[in-house]
Structure 1
Amino acid sequence: MTVQQTAFDAAERRMWGGRADAYAGSFARLCAHTVPHLLDAAAVGAGTRVLDVGTGTGAVAAAACERGARVTAIDAEPGMVALARRAAPAAEVHTAVLPSLPFADGAFDAAVANFVLNHVGRPRDALAELRRVVRPGGRIGLTIWCAPGAPGQELLGRAMEAAGAVRPAHLAPLAAEDDFPRTPDGLTGLLDAAGLRGPTSSTLAWDHRAAPDEWWSGPAAGVASIGQLLVSQPAPVRAEARRHYDLLCREYLGDDGRLVLPHRALLATARR
């Protein structure tokens, strides 16, 4: 299917373009936490033909290969594709963008999307496309950040708010008609609306540990919406945001000087 790009999609391409290495050095470890849960939910094992959508640095693809699956992975950002090819040399990795995938109907036994649905302008269309490329009875598994988030998810945003950061015009929000509640019921409702059978959703909770400078490095390089918010500010506001960040970090410091950041995400699965 061919779907016109939304303003939200255009903003996503801008915020991720050329930032694969910065993501790998900051937020990638956080997102990798859910990988085994996601693969279990999608019943990915030896011989499974699995599509990893939005592979990023290739953590899901690499883990699926280790299980003996036959892995195809895609990402919209060429830099991510390069990293994923190194991380998962046994996988076929391509540049492609939801919701227009270059695969035949029913080509896969399963499709997985780790923190991808929050980066597409039309989530229902994206799910419908995943449904199309999975065989009848095949599984779709996905994760997405829930709202409200856990305290660790709010640290960077609190620093920006305290500094008086103003959201830039190029950070287009998701259109109201395409949005959905980031709750278990909201996510299963979206899966159901996309024509998927038996959707279920549960909450994953964990503490992510990172050095303060590591956690700041992603936003400082413009990674994700929080990074675009930061780098679009005048220099004094950026400096003030860092000052507030350093102060707020004290709430999360462990005995080893690393941040202990509580996070929550939704894990959902359904069948075609």
Structure 2
Amino acid sequence: MTAFDRSERLTWAGRGAAYAASFARLCAYPVPALLDIAGVGPGVRVLDVGTGPGTVAAQACARDARVTATDADPGMVELAAQAAPGAELCVGALPRLPFAEATFDTVIANFVLNHVGSPRAALAELRRVLRPGGRVALTIWAAPPAPGQALLGRAIQAAGAVRPPHLPTGLAPEEDFPRNESGLAALLASAGLHATACETLRWDHRVTATEWWSGPAAGVAFTGQMVVGQPPHTQAEIKHHFDILSTEFTDTQGMLTLPHAALLAGARR
């Protein structure tokens, strides 16, 4: 396990409910497309890796698939069990999953590669548990980030926040890759997977400012750790700049309309 992985475990521990109430609805947007690319239907053996609150697992169960879901955080597994009672749930984390080789027809990883220290090793493990000819479907945030995704980071930067010592600066250079369509396709190939689709999804996420701020205020994800890792006066400054910058995205109904972009990829073993 890398330092990046250890930081991710600490970041997400105990924050399942806060994530479900803030960023989970955003991350649910690509799920129907993921299931379509993965060919999820009746009887298909599906593994949902990094299930979080169980959004993918629940929608795969609704298609009558045979669903197994796993997450590194026990609290997330509990939430997923409530959302997808028809799925088999367990605690497990990349790059070593508790499943035999060639167990599944398809593996889905919705915004999971953002949270692993070795994306190539993670993909190699997804390939291992996939049957020959089986499908992988995944998403990852694009870079540079779309304007809506960058809002919180802009507020943190404007407040002069300093990175807390427990947060790594990023992946090791040899592990990183371009967060664009060609970069993701090349990463899949390096793990022995054959890309069948790679595209950029763009959508506007409509949310109240209160909901959007609730995630970082509770320490959810990297931006949340940046916020809660500051002294109180800096946290107040971040919120102040967030309120100012949010006006750029506020519509006539008082809602934020936040443009986002993610990479969606499908591949075969």
The normalised TM-score by structure 1 is 0.97
CA shift for structure 1 position 256: 1.5
| 1:103 and 2:83 correspond | no
- Equivalent residue number for residue 262 of structure 1: 259
Asked if the contact 1:143/1:266 (under 8 Å) is kept, the reply is yes
SS in 1 for 2:224: helix
Asked if the contact 1:192/1:199 (under 8 Å) is kept, the reply is no
| 1:197 and 2:197 correspond | no
- Equivalent residue number for residue 62 of structure 2: 66
- Equivalent residue number for residue 156 of structure 1: 152
Distance across 1 between alignment mates of 2:253 and 2:90: 40
Unaligned runs of 5+ in 1: none
- Equivalent residue number for residue 225 of structure 2: 228
Letter in 1 for 2:172: A
Distance across 2 between alignment mates of 1:132 and 1:46: 23
Asked if the contact 1:203/1:266 (under 8 Å) is kept, the reply is yes
SS in 2 for 1:177: coil
SS in 2 for 1:89: coil
Distance across 2 between alignment mates of 1:184 and 1:256: 35
Question: How many residue pairs align between the two structures?
Answer: 268
Divergent runs of 4+, >2 A: none
SS in 2 for 1:55: coil
1:171-227 Cα shifts (integer Å, max 9, x gaps) = 112111111110000000000000012343100010001110110000001000000
Asked if the contact 1:149/1:264 (under 8 Å) is kept, the reply is yes
Asked if the contact 2:195/2:265 (under 8 Å) is kept, the reply is no
Distance across 2 between alignment mates of 1:204 and 1:45: 23
Distance across 1 between alignment mates of 2:82 and 2:88: 11
| Equivalent residue for 1:237, pick from 234, 237, 240 | 234
What pairs up with 1:173-184 in 2 under 5 angstroms? 173-184=170-181
CA shift for structure 1 position 162: 0.5
Asked if the contact 1:56/1:81 (under 8 Å) is kept, the reply is yes
Letter in 2 for 1:146: A
| 1:251 and 2:265 correspond | no
Distance across 2 between alignment mates of 1:20 and 1:197: 33
The normalised TM-score by structure 2 is 0.98
The alignment yields a C-alpha RMSD, in angstroms, of 0.7
Unaligned runs of 5+ in 2: none
